[in-house]
Amino acid sequence: MSFSLLFQPEAEEQLAALERADKRKHRKVLSCLGKLETNPKHPVLHSHRYEALDDVDGERIWESYAENKTPAAFRVFWHYGPERGEITVVAITKHP
């Protein structure tokens, strides 16, 4: 099953800012989003529940890796829905 990606305004702004600031990291995030569309459980994404943000607005929040083993690696935070076959991207940020 493939998914349609929806973006919260904050995630859209973060993606646009990343495109302006760092083209290489932007490409990595786009690759992550592409894999997320086709298979949120793709092994390279290391997708897992992010319980610190869980149940924000009643949704279970997931974290996927755009980068790994990199200082300040980028992560994509998302949840399923609101409709079947949709994923909402909540944030695209550096891992602390």
Q: What is the pLDDT of residues 23-46, one digit of tens each?
A: 999 999 999 999 999 999 999 999
Global pTM value: 0.92
Torsion of CA 72, 62, 45, 39, to 10 degrees: -150
Position 54 scores a pLDDT of: 66
Domain regions of the chain by residue span: 4-94
Out of 3.30.420.40, 3.30.2310.20, 3.30.1950.10, 3.40.710.10, the CATH code matching 4-94 is: 3.30.2310.20
82 vs 58: which has the higher pLDDT: 82
Q: Which of 82, 94, 76, 96 is nearest to 33 (CA)?
A: 76
Residue 60 — left, alpha, or beta (φ > 0 → left; ψ -120 to 50 → alpha)? beta
22 vs 1: which has the higher pLDDT: 22
